[in-house]
Structure 1
Amino acid sequence: MSSLNLDDFTDLIERPDGGVRRDAEARRERLTVPPGALGRLDDLGEWLAAAQSAVPVRPVTRPRVVLFAGDHGIAAQDVSARPAGTAARLVRAVLDGESPVAVLARRLDVPVRVVDMALDCPPEELPAEVVRHRVRRGSGRIDVEDALTPEEAEAAFLAGVAVADEEADSGTDLVVLGDVSVGGTTAAAVLVAALCGTDASVVTGRGGRPIDDLAWMRKCAAVRDALRRARPVLGDQLRLLATVGGADLAATTGFLLQCAVRKTPVILDGVVSAACALVAQRVAFRAPDWWLAGQRSGEPAQTKALDRLAIEPLLDHGVSVGEGTGALLALPLVQAAAALAAELPEVPEVSEAPEAPETPATKNGGDDAGTAQDAPSGTPS
């Protein structure tokens, strides 16, 4: 019998400090730059202050990109522009510094961590630190079978919790969260449709590498069939992840929840991280207060999930490549907000000028001086 009780997260997760946020808002009113002149940067600075319990806010100096990786069996149904089982190639590009997220991370001097949860390749093809949390090789075809066994889902979820603890213990002060997968957007669409009560066509997008109309119809059918399997298990979030998720999605969900427990802010990337955030919200309703959405990817399921989470993306540049790229683009904006909130000077207090001391002349209204001038000199004419 499982010892994992997801209800514990409800008690463990606290909201960012509301009192500190009010202090940050009050300080913002005193800055030399007028309130509202910095737009959303003001809100970001105050959000960070509450997350850090610090006024003025501390700079974000140790961010980290964390990418959970896995292959999804549903990709064998030609629902992705990439061949099934090829997510390991994408991981290799990240590790070799040749992917968009790797290029940006190098430019921004942000370390990247890849966590293999279910890549369909021999583990020896990748570094040991990448594969040490792997739960299985690939996942089940969610339209006709479960993605994971209950034991695998729990193991993947706990792996995500462990990674969050490792990051918090190492001093990471903000996480840029993404995924590296083939078929992951299909599983994410199923989760969002199930949790939002919508039809397959409403949430099915064209993926990071856009698919043609025929592939989109196959993807819709796959989401529809998987959705039928998801609805009976909506009350059990871990079972939902086992049924129509995957090891990387289960790990991402555990990671998000434990980051909230450890008070580590997270920037979400695309539809996969948004879908996992939606699952995590069902587990602990306070958890979304610790997350930002880095960008709007264009995937309809992401839009639906973020609307339900009441999180407004920071950027809308049409970046759909995934792998944390869009979220990483938002990192400088968050760092800028922290710098402005901490370093802009406050308006100096204006003190009242002291009253001039009274003199004998002013004390008598100048009468003595006038009498002296008008008195006769005493010299006869």
Structure 2
Amino acid sequence: MGKVTAQTRLANQLLLEAIKNPKNLPVLSLADWELLIRMGRRTRLLGRLEADLSRIGLLAEIPSRAADHLRAARNVIDHRNTLVKWEINRILWALNGTEAPIILLKGAAYVQANLPPAHGRIFADVDLLRPEERIEEIEEKLSLRGWLKMQIDPYDDRYYRVWMHEIPPLRHRERGTEIDIHHRILPRTSRLNSDPALLFEAARPLEDSRLHVLAPADMVLHALVHLFLECDPREGLRLRDLLDVHLLFQHYGQEQSFWDGLTPRAYKLGLERPLFYGLRFALRFFDTPIPQTVRSEIKNAGPRWPMLWLMDHLVALAILPGHPDYPYPWATLARHLLYLRAHWLKMPPLMLARHLLYKAYLRSRGVRGKVDLAKLDLRQQ
């Protein structure tokens, strides 16, 4: 266990140092580059390394084989971003004539608004936010234009529509691209009670006035909700999502008005605890420049000891990838505990117990949650 711990620590330090100080990457040995490439691929951060090295003019200074991997990652990202932009174009075409604006979330918002997290970052789906009373309208219009309702278990369909903050994903019959349509950023059953109307009121238009993005503080808070409440038991918390938050802090934090309004906005939306953790871990892992006044304002939003001590350890274990050749058992445990914590915050205890037991029952019976649309006769849909 001692060797595993040491290798885990060294590997994590290598990755974090590469992200924080890309100017030092040309001095890495070939062995370090081999490990960094593997970890970057595992965390989907190879594109970020390429973007940073290209920005400071050092891509040609690293070993050519390493540069080839980074350029390949950039090519994939460029392709995906093109797909995202085209999908947004097609969504606007399909929804032509609807009154309510389309609010882009997460990756689609970063790409369309050309924000720092979009540079070197790969995004899979297009996430939209629409008023709940307009969800049926948008779902119908998109279905008529080629986006099919996912074939999922009836329980999962009800789970989405009755309890969650979004409807089941829609997938285009030809392109295979998916759209996630949200009407709020937290499940209806969540312990964190946040009024979605506040997000719509503050949303900001893009160059195309039909498209909006969340206000800066709201965008950061939504990114933190996604980070801490969408935990995956296999992947854990996503380092790239925390990096997005760090980059947004750096970008919007150039204006003092952003910092002045951030904590009050978090309290107004009922998201002060995610902000507490976001500031704490952005500072811890990326040395994010956060004003002392903001840290003081949010201090009381944190949990008491020993919960804070426990979260410090669990997040560090779950968010960092570790050495790919030396699996760390404690990291696996941390990911599962944070996954349970995320579900605990999403729904009341009895509902949570029933949900987890039913999903475990389905897995034991080999029941899939989704049906592969590629194997369906789409002409019958």
Q: TM-score, normalised by structure 2?
A: 0.25
Larger-Rg structure: 1
Q: TM-score, normalised by structure 1?
A: 0.25
Q: Larger relative CO (CA 8 A, sep 6+): 1 or 2?
A: 1
